[in-house]
């Protein structure tokens, strides 16, 4: 029963890897952004409460996010495990999560800062269809133009170099205690996030191979979280 947490700075490629690995493991890929959007769309009581905060331009408070996560983890498809992507982000959230579910392994995506800056600052978005390009690694056929509709590509303010450095600094500060915590628990595995996505996927698979449910002659019954 794989219960995984993906940790990684923006630009580390964890968002690319998460859906594929979750499919392979047969567990849902859970990001708090998706959970929030689904709850808002479903008009659940917590979803409506979250929507009030989002509409007012406020961060959704931690206890509400945790409540939504609790509901999501109780859904039938999460009985076989889960892959949490981008949560917890700090030590307080990690402790709160421990009250909800056991975590088997934490995969920390690691890439030198200059590579992260390069990936993030190279990102360009199509304002018409939301396609994502990268001037260095995935350029459009015509420079500055979307392949699908020819719209002029833009750089999100968040992806400008100064903003990128700040995002990476905030991430490092928030997650350092979190990494130390999971290391102490013996759950942390570092993933070298450099190289093509296929190579990173192979490294990931090696780190979770023992958690992939056995198809036959499994010696021990899966342990259930409380």
Residues of this chain that bind Zn ion (CB under 5 A): 126, 128-129, 131, 146, 148-149, 151
Instruction: Give me the DSSP letters along 82-126.
Output: EEEES---SHHHHHHHHTT----EEEEEE--HHHHHHHHHTEEE-
- Choosing from 156, 160, 166, 206, which is the catalytic residue? 156
Six-digit token pair at 188? Answer: 């942390």
Q: Select 44 or 131, whichever has its Cβ closest to Zn ion.
A: 131
- We find the least distance from the C-beta atom of residue 33 to Zn ion, in angstroms, to be 22
Q: Give min distance, CB of 142 to Zn ion, in A.
A: 12
**Annotated catalytic residue within 3, 14, 46, 119:** 14
Beta strands 3-7 and 132-134: pairing type?
unpaired
Q: Are 96 and 5 in contact (CB under 8 A)?
A: no
Instruction: Check if 166 is active-site.
Output: no
148 is catalytic: no
Shortest separation between residue 133's beta carbon and Zn ion, angstroms: 9
Does the annotation count 156 as an active-site position? yes
Cβ-based nearer residue to Zn ion, 115 or 156: 156
CA distances from 84 to 20, 27, 149, 201 (A): 13, 10, 34, 17
Q: For the CB of residue 126, give the shortest distance to Zn ion in the complex, in Å.
A: 3
Q: Are 119 and 200 in contact (CB under 8 A)?
A: no
CB of 124 to Zn ion, least distance (A): 11
Pick the closer one to Zn ion by CB: 152 or 192: 152
Annotated catalytic residue, options 37, 70, 89, 205: 89
89 catalytic? Reply is yes
Place of tokens 């199509």: 126
Whether residue 14 lies in the annotated active site: yes
148 or 206, CB closer to Zn ion? 148
Report the alpha-carbon angle 120-51-19, nearest 5: 45
CB-nearer residue toward Zn ion: 55 or 141: 141
Question: Which of 36, 30, 84 shows the shortest CA–CA distance to 62?
Answer: 36
CA–CA separation, 5 and 96 (whole Å) = 14
| CA neighbor of 74 nearest in space, from 25, 30, 8, 24 | 30
> Which residues are part of the catalytic machinery?
14, 89, 123, 156, 167
């Amino acid at each position: 029963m794989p219960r995984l947490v993906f940790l990684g700075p923006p630009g580390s490629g964890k968002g690319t890897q998460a859906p594929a690995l979750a499919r392979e493991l047969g567990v849902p890929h859970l990001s708090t952004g998706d959970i929030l959007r689904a709850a808002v769309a479903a008009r659940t009581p917590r979803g409506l409460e979250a929507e009030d905060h989002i509409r007012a331009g406020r961060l959704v408070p931690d206890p509400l996010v945790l409540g939504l996560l609790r509901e999501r983890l109780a859904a039938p498809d999460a009985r076989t495990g889960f892959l949490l992507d981008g949560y917890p982000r700090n030590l307080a959230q990690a402790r709160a999560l421990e009250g909800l579910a056991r975590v088997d392994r934490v995969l920390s995506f690691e890439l030198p800062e200059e590579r992260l800056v390069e990936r993030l600052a190279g990102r360009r978005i199509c304002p018409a269809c939301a396609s994502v390009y990268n001037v260095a690694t995935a350029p459009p056929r015509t420079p500055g133009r979307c392949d699908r509709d020819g719209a002029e590509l833009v750089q999100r303010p968040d992806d400008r170099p100064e903003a990128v450095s700040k995002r990476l600094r905030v991430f490092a500060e928030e997650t350092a205690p979190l990494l130390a915590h999971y290391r102490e628990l013996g759950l942390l595995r570092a993933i070298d996030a450099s190289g093509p996505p296929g190579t990173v996927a192979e490294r990931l698979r090696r780190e979770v191979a023992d958690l992939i449910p056995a198809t036959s002659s499994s010696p021990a019954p899966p342990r259930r979280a409380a």
